[in-house]
């Protein structure tokens, strides 16, 4: 189950899977209309692997010997493809640059430990020669959490956790399991399901990402409304740090100072290497269903999600697309499309005449339920009443089942577009319920302004992906065909930055579950304030004074003394 080996170096996922428009009659015309892209013309060549400028690794012989001593010679790899696949994650910038042959600073070596003791030996070897350690799970991060700094002069070790992939123990009475960090989503569920349990964590990256990666980036999954985000699911962590083996206890709540467990969550390898986690498990539910709903407008859909989050229903999934995403969803359906049926059939007539729907404003929603038969029935009823109050109606389980089956294929669309010369990416955030309508309007306006400024036709769409008591996650997706007037990544930056800046300007967060990495680091201080950044810096520098652990992620190097800095504050610059 070392899926990462099978990952494309130039794109997402398995070589054997690809997205296509050919079985989706509405999609080609939709793409042509909205981003002026002819899907029948493959446009963008990518550099052949043989032509990539892969340098020789810079690995001190003593380090090679130490690493081979730690994990065995066959688990120490300096092969070009291995180093290339471990060089970056899968953010749009990563894919574009790799496809161009701009491969950046590759790690010098990939090592694959099989145990915590081996991780400890690697850490000791690395710190002994002042090398850099970058933990690697599935390599799916889309925020730049994996790439070595361009100018890194020390040896760089990619520490691939793929061999540490077992469920070590299920404590059924406590409903927790001890799990190794390198296990991929499907393999983890397979091991748990065999004993009647599930973790219930299903991010879009599920098939190619790992438990350790989820923890290191504070991941959320599709059913996190019920099971909790990975921060809720993770009861305890173990890890190898420069200060020794960190081990927190799998207790349900503790008052032991600031939570050390929470410091590991989202730490992106800056504190060490996660070697084990104790996570919540749930019994496989008796029933599981995802129903489709339609709402007359985005504002009604949002309001319904808000009311559901307050009420006594506890659905496992709450998802609501805006009108542009609803249109896109309908355009990706196979023949005969759902939109055809809606538009041509009795349902459309009913929606328009009896319910007063404007079909252009209509929003598609999915709500999931899990539990016993009675519980699911009661939840559906409670949700149905709220949906009805907001002018919505249930369209049954067909669309939801289809969505459920296809949800992990979404990331492949990016490669499909890249192959044809178009760029697509996502930005997600969270905010209080009261802020969401204006946040949405502001992001849509900022995106459209960015498209206009660049002179490109672009498409921007959104869905609410997770609901909480006090707010929700909005997940934006955009696509455009670069103008050809400048570097396409420059144009990408204009759009992505406009959206991210609008998030932080609107009181929202820079990311709900995609992490900071290098892509979002410049908005961190606006999000968590300068003292918040100082707290992270104090933590990282205190545990890793040499900056050996995934340097440059989350927060950059300490700023020059001229700027406001912790050093200055220590000297009394701010309050002292």
Q: Is 475 a catalytic residue?
A: yes
DSSP state of 269: T
- Candidates 20-28, 33-41, 466-474, 484-492: pick the segment binding a copy of itself (CB under 8 A): 466-474
Does position 204 interact with a copy of itself (CB under 8 A)? The reply is no
Q: List binders of a copy of itself among 162-201 (CB under 8 A).
A: 171, 173-176
169: left (phi over 0), alpha (psi -120 to 50) or beta: beta
Which of 43, 73, 81, 470 touches a copy of itself by CB under 8 A?
470
Backbone angles phi, psi at 236, to 5 degrees: -155, 155
Does position 404 interact with a copy of itself (CB under 8 A)? The reply is no
| DSSP string covering 74-86 | GGEE--HHHHHHT
Q: With both helix axes pointing from N to C terminus, report the angle between 436-454 and 298-310 in degrees, rounded to the nearest 10.
A: 140
Closest CA to 167 of 64, 79, 277, 59: 277
User: Which residue(s) pair with 426 in the sheet?
Assistant: 477
Query: To which residue do tokens 């200055």 refer?
Result: 568
Is the separation of the CB atoms in 474 and 431 below 8 Å? yes
Does position 280 interact with a copy of itself (CB under 8 A)? The reply is yes
520 SS3 class = coil
- Token reading at 85: 């696949």
259 SS3 class = coil
Does position 333 interact with a copy of itself (CB under 8 A)? The reply is no
38 vs 171, beta carbon nearer a copy of itself: 171
- Token reading at 37: 């892209």
Instruction: Compose the 56-85 pattern: x for residues touching a copy of itself by CB under 8 A, - for all others.
Output: ------------------------------
Distance CA 14, CA 2 (A): 12
Which of 48, 50, 51, 257 touches a copy of itself by CB under 8 A?
257
Instruction: Compose the 215-254 pattern: x for residues touching a copy of itself by CB under 8 A, - for all others.
Output: --xxxx--------x-x---x----xxxxxxxxxxxxxxx
User: Which residue(s) pair with 462 in the sheet?
Assistant: 476
Minimum distance, C-beta of residue 119 to a copy of itself, in the bound complex (Å): 10
231 vs 395, beta carbon nearer a copy of itself: 231
Does position 260 interact with a copy of itself (CB under 8 A)? The reply is yes
Q: List binders of a copy of itself among 105-164 (CB under 8 A).
A: 120, 123-124, 127-128
Q: List the catalytic residue out of 227, 357, 403, 475.
A: 475
Q: List binders of a copy of itself among 352-371 (CB under 8 A).
A: 371
Which of 545, 560, 562, 563 touches a copy of itself by CB under 8 A?
545
Minimum distance, C-beta of residue 491 to a copy of itself, in the bound complex (Å): 26
Please count the residues of the chain.
576
55 vs 172, beta carbon nearer a copy of itself: 172
Q: List binders of a copy of itself among 557-576 (CB under 8 A).
A: 566, 569-570, 572, 574-576
Closest CA to 108 of 87, 129, 89: 87
Closest CA to 31 of 553, 438, 417, 358: 417
Minimum distance, C-beta of residue 170 to a copy of itself, in the bound complex (Å): 11
Q: List binders of a copy of itself among 507-536 (CB under 8 A).
A: 507-516, 520, 524, 527-532, 534-536
Q: List binders of a copy of itself among 307-326 (CB under 8 A).
A: 310, 312, 314
Cis peptide leading into 17, omega within 30 of 0?
A: no
Residues serving a catalytic function are 475
């Amino acid at each position: 189950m070392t899926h990462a080996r099978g990952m494309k170096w130039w794109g997402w996922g398995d070589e054997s899977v690809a997205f296509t428009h050919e079985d989706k009659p509405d999609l080609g015309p939709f793409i042509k209309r909205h981003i002026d892209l002819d899907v029948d013309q493959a446009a963008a060549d990518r550099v052949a692997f043989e032509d990539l400028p892969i340098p020789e690794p810079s690995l001190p012989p003593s380090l090679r010997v130490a690493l081979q001593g730690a994990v065995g010679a066959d688990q120490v790899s300096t092969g070009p493809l291995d180093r290339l696949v471990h060089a970056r994650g899968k953010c749009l910038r990563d894919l574009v640059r790799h496809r161009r042959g701009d491969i950046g600073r590759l790690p010098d070596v990939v090592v694959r430990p099989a145990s915590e003791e081996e991780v400890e030996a690697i850490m000791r070897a690395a710190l002994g020669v002042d090398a850099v350690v970058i933990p690697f799970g599935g390599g799916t991060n889309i925020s730049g959490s994996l790439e070595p700094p361009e100018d890194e002069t020390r040896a760089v070790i990619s520490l691939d956790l793929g061999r540490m992939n077992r469920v070590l123990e299920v404590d059924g009475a406590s409903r927790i399991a001890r799990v190794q960090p390198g296990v991929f989503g499907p393999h983890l569920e397979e091991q748990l399901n065999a004993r009647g349990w599930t973790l219930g964590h299903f991010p879009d990256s599920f098939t190619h990402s790992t438990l350790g990666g989820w923890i290191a980036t504070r991941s959320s999954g599709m059913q996190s409304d019920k099971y909790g985000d990975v921060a809720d699911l993770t009861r305890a962590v173990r890890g190898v740090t420069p200060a020794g083996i960190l081990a927190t206890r799998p207790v349900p709540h503790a008052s032991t100072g600031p939570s050390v467990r929470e410091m590991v969550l989202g730490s992106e390898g800056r504190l060490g290497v996660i070697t084990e986690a104790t996570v919540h498990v749930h019994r496989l539910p008796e029933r599981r269903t995802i129903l489709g709903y339609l709402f007359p407008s985005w504002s009604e859909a949002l309001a319904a999600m808000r009311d559901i989050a307050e009420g006594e229903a506890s659905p496992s999934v709450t998802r609501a697309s805006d009108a542009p995403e609803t249109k896109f969803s309908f355009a990706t359906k196979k023949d005969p499309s759902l939109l055809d049926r809606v538009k041509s059939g009795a349902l459309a007539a009913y929606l328009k005449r009896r319910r007063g729907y404007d079909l252009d404003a209509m929003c598609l929603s999915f709500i999931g339920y899990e539990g016993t038969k009675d519980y699911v029935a009661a939840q559906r009823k409670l949700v149905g009443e709220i949906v009805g109050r907001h002018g919505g109606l249930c369209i049954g389980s067909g669309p939801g089942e289809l969505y459920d089956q296809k949800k992990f294929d979404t990331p492949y669309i990016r490669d499909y577009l890249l192959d044809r010369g178009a760029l697509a990416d996502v930005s997600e955030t969270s905010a209080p319920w009261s802020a969401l309508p204006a946040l949405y309007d502001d992001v849509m306006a900022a995106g459209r302004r960015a498209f206009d400024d660049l002179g490109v036709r672009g498409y921007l769409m959104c869905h609410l992906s997770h609901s909480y008591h006090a707010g929700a996650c909005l997940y934006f997706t955009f696509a455009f065909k670069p103008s050809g007037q400048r570097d396409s990544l420059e144009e990408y930056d204009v759009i992505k930055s406009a959206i991210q800046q609008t998030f932080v300007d609107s009181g929202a967060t820079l990311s709900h579950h995609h992490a900071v990495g290098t892509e979002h680091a410049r908005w961190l201080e606006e999000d968590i304030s300068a003292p918040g950044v100082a707290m992270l810096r104090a933590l990282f520098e205190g545990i890793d004074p040499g900056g050996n652990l995934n340097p440059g992620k989350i927060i950059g190097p300490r700023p020059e003394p001229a700027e406001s800095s912790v050093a200055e504050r220590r000297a009394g610059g701010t309050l002292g």
